[in-house]
Amino acid sequence: MIDLVQNTIDGVMIGSSYGLLALGFTLIFGVMRRLNLSYGPSIMIGGYVGTVLYVQYGAGPLAVAGTMILGAAIAGIYVERLCFAPMRMGAGIASMVSSFAIWMQLEQAAILVLPRHTYPFPPLTTGAPLEWGPFLLRLDHLIMLGCALGLTAAIQFALYRTRFGLALRAIIGNPVAAHLVGINVSVAVMLAFAAASAIGGVAGFLVLSVDQQVTPMFGMWATLKGLIAMMIGGLGSIPGAILGGLLLGVVEAHCQWYFGPQIRDLAAYIVLFVFLLVHPGGLLGRAPGSDIAAPRTP
Amino acid sequence: MLDVTDLVTAYGKIEALKGVSLQVEGGKITCLLGPNGAGKTTLMMTIAGVLQPRRGSIRLKGAELAGLSPARIVSQGVALVPENRLVFPHMSVYENLLAGAYQRHDKAGVNADIERMYARFPQLHERSEQMAGTLSGGEQQMLAVARALMSQPRLLLMDEPSLGLAPLIVAEIFNIIAELNRDGTTIFLVEQNAHMALQVAHQFFLMEQGRITFKGTPGQLAEDEVIQRAYLGTRRAAG
Ligand SMILES: Nc1ncnc2c1ncn2[C@@H]1O[C@H](COP(=O)(O)OP(=O)(O)O)[C@@H](O)[C@H]1O
Ligand SMILES: [Mg+2]
């Protein structure tokens, strides 16, 4: 029983990083109706900038976090300008394929510049875990959960209470009409892309500082976890992204405990498969067709 | 007020506008009639800046609009009520109106204008918190008109506002058009409903296959000829 609860707690904590990854992913998907496969690799580039700062200049975790978030945002803008801006009004497949090509490009660039397989990453806290009855709570995990919930609230606020949020929701609703009311769609989409990649940067920093290392594989890992959590939660749904992430984390934690670490990643795919089969809209996605993720009709 | 000269707009290799020239007089209602596929929507989208022309010029009181972004064109005082209304379906009626004023920064003025829209369109007031996607077709059309008016346009472009609406609603829409014009807004209206359009228009143009083929006042051409050409086009009608 204690194990069950402890595993659930660990799952929620790890899941909050998946949720954060899904948050950025779902923001891009909601605005563009496009899958950005380069999402994870953009974050990985941020991580590489971070590790250089840490190893070369001995920067502290906060400076590394700031640089990594900025690096991920800039890499995100690069991806948007290259893969998405030129094909805004059509060619969903083309922009997805070109984002895959940029994934490979970013990964190779990272390997060329820093050829070793792993580089160290600064831990966020080194304090002992908190004890809560028989259960252990890691401080960095709590920070992760706090960031996930805080950023969800911040995004909801930005989307529903600000002028920029109104513009983004208008673009989601009907991009042609957004042009017609005088929204600068191209700039708004680019900013949304940068913000989403920055959120990915926050998630990436938290995960890497728990792992205390970064590898070129981190990009693929981030894209996969974010994608699966987003799809479980419901494409384009902000609260769904966090819920999907938490659910994925909990399922993984239990599977690892009962069946071993090999089964852990398999479990993620099984959960995704089951959702796609019985409830393709995800936890909070609306029924296909009425969803904001429905195909846009210009 | 609006001078379009030799305008060419193409989708890929296919020219949908093959050198269109027309004028919209200030303070009047000008109507553009023509069969499906003539290029009316293409013209509206080109004036609004959503489509870029290959050639030609679009002047608003002498100032060139061709090449400007849609946002700049809105701030120059041109607003389009698009074909099929294109309201923001998952935003409330109120938020749709707010989005219509996106280029404006006078908050008090915007709020006052929203109140004016509510007074003019009481259905919108009743449903101000409702998602626009749940409104009836007629209400969505009212919302699309009100949203365009929120930018305080000097020139209001309307692309088939009667499309798919019941006759009673169509009559109401045309009443609103006449009323807006009486209050001083210049209107450039695309219509399929030639009968209704000829009743409100001061001046009209016929467009067929990407070209203007007639320009005149409603009395100048027998209504059934206008209707025939507006629905069928000259070539097929002659054959
Ligand atoms: N997005 C598009 N891509 C290619 N061709 C188009 C597109 N939109 C319209 N057309 C073509 O341009 C011509 C004019 O269309 P349109 O401007 O919609 O006419 P109208 O509004 O008068 O019915 C038609 O032949 C139509 O098939
Ligand atoms: Mg049309």
- DSSP codes of every residue in A105-161: HHHHHHHHHS-SS-EE---S--PPPEEETTEEE-HHHHHHHHHHHHHHHHHHHHHHH
Residue B2: strand pairing partners: B24, B60
Which residues have C-beta within 8 Å of that of residue A168, sequence separation ≥ 6?
A: A31, A159, A188, A192
pLDDT range class, residue A295, cuts 50, 70, 90:
very low
- Atom number in ligand 1 closest to CA B38: 22
Tokens 């890929």 map to which residue? B12
ipTM above 0.90, yes or no: yes
The predicted pLDDT at position A243 comes to 94
Cβ atoms within 10 Å of A142's Cβ, excluding its own: 15
DSSP string, A236-286: T-HHHHHHHHHHHHHHHHHHHHHH-HHHHHHHHHHHHHHHHHH-TT-SSPP
- A280-292 pLDDT per residue, tens: 878 887 544 334 4
CB B105 within 8 A of CB A163: no
Strand B203-208 versus strand B29-33 pairing type: parallel
Q: Which two tokens stand for residue A102?
A: 């940029």
Name the residue of chain B whose CA is nearest to A164's CA.
B102
| B147 at interface of A, judged by CB pairs closer than 8 A | yes
The predicted pLDDT at position B234 comes to 59
The predicted pLDDT at position A283 comes to 84
Which residues have C-beta within 8 Å of that of residue A183, sequence separation ≥ 6?
A: A167, A170, A171, B71, B99, B102
| B50 at interface of A, judged by CB pairs closer than 8 A | yes
Which residues have C-beta within 8 Å of that of residue B225, sequence separation ≥ 6?
A: none
The predicted pLDDT at position A288 comes to 45
Report which bound ligand comes closest to the CA of B34: 1
| B86 at interface of A, judged by CB pairs closer than 8 A | yes
Name the residue of chain A whose CA is nearest to B152's CA.
A181
Name the residue of chain A whose CA is nearest to B47's CA.
A180
Give the mutation target among B7, B9, B11, B15 for probing the ligand 1 site: most ligand atoms within 8 A of CB.
Answer: B11
Q: Which two tokens stand for residue B129?
A: 């918190």
- Atom number in ligand 1 closest to CA B207: 22
Q: Which CATH number among 3.30.1540.10, 3.90.1580.10, 1.10.10.10, 3.40.50.300 corresponds to the domain B2-85+154-231?
A: 3.40.50.300
CA distances from A225 to A16, A29, A232, A268, B169 (A): 11, 15, 11, 8, 51
Q: Specify the 3-state DSSP secondary structure of B13.
A: coil
Ramachandran sector of residue A282 (left: φ over 0; alpha: ψ -120 to 50; beta: rest): left
Q: How far apart are CA A165 and CA B188, in angstroms?
A: 32
CB B56 within 8 A of CB B20: yes
Contacts 24+ apart (CB under 8 A), A289-295: A291/A234, A291/A235, A291/A236, A292/A30, A292/A172, A292/A173, A292/A236, A292/B90, A293/A29, A293/A30, A293/A33, A293/A234, A293/A235, A293/A236, A295/A33
Q: How far apart are the CA of A179 and the nearest CA of chain B, in angstroms? A: 6
The predicted pLDDT at position B235 comes to 53
Q: How far apart are CA B41 and CA B19, in angstroms?
A: 15
Q: Is B183 exposed, middle or buried (0-12, 13-18, 19+ CB in 10 A)?
A: exposed
The predicted pLDDT at position B232 comes to 64
Cβ-Cβ contacts under 8 Å, A169 against chain B = 88, 90-91, 95
Residue B7: strand pairing partners: B20
pLDDT range class, residue A88, cuts 50, 70, 90:
low
CB B201 within 8 A of CB B32: no
Average pLDDT, stretch A9-26? 93
- Compute the half-sphere exposure of residue A158: CA atoms within 13 Å on the CB side of its CA: 14
Q: How far apart are the CA of B102 and the nearest CA of chain A, in angstroms? A: 6
Q: How far apart are CA B212 and CA B26, in angstroms?
A: 20
Measuring CA to CA, which residue among B179, B191, B181, B121 is closest to residue B154?
Answer: B181
Cβ-Cβ contacts under 8 Å, A292 against chain B = 90
Q: Where are the domains of chain A?
A: 2-278
Q: Is B3 exposed, middle or buried (0-12, 13-18, 19+ CB in 10 A)?
A: middle
Measuring CA to CA, which residue among B201, B195, B196 is closest to residue B218?
Answer: B201
Tokens 């380069």 map to which residue? A38
Q: Which CATH number among 2.60.40, 1.20.120, 1.10.3470, 1.10.1060 corresponds to the domain A2-278?
A: 1.10.3470
Give the mutation target among B22, B32, B36, B42 for probing the ligand 1 site: most ligand atoms within 8 A of CB.
Answer: B42
| B235 at interface of A, judged by CB pairs closer than 8 A | no
- Atom number in ligand 1 closest to CA B210: 14
Q: Where are the domains of chain B?
A: 2-85+154-231
**Would you write out chain B's pLDDT as a tens digit for each of its 239 residues?**
999 999 999 999 999 999 999 999 999 999 999 999 999 999 999 999 999 999 999 999 999 999 999 999 999 999 999 999 999 999 999 999 999 999 999 999 999 999 999 999 999 999 999 999 999 999 999 999 999 999 999 999 999 999 999 999 999 999 999 999 999 999 999 998 888 898 999 999 999 999 999 898 888 877 777 777 777 665 544 43
Q: Is the pLDDT of residue A192 over 70?
A: yes
Letter string b/e over residues B35-74, b meaning 16 or more CB atoms within 10 A of that residue's CB: beebbbbbbbbbbbbbbebeebebebeeeebbebbbbebb
Task: Decide which of B221 and A297 is more confident.
Answer: B221
Does an H or E element contain A165, and which?
Answer: helix A163-173
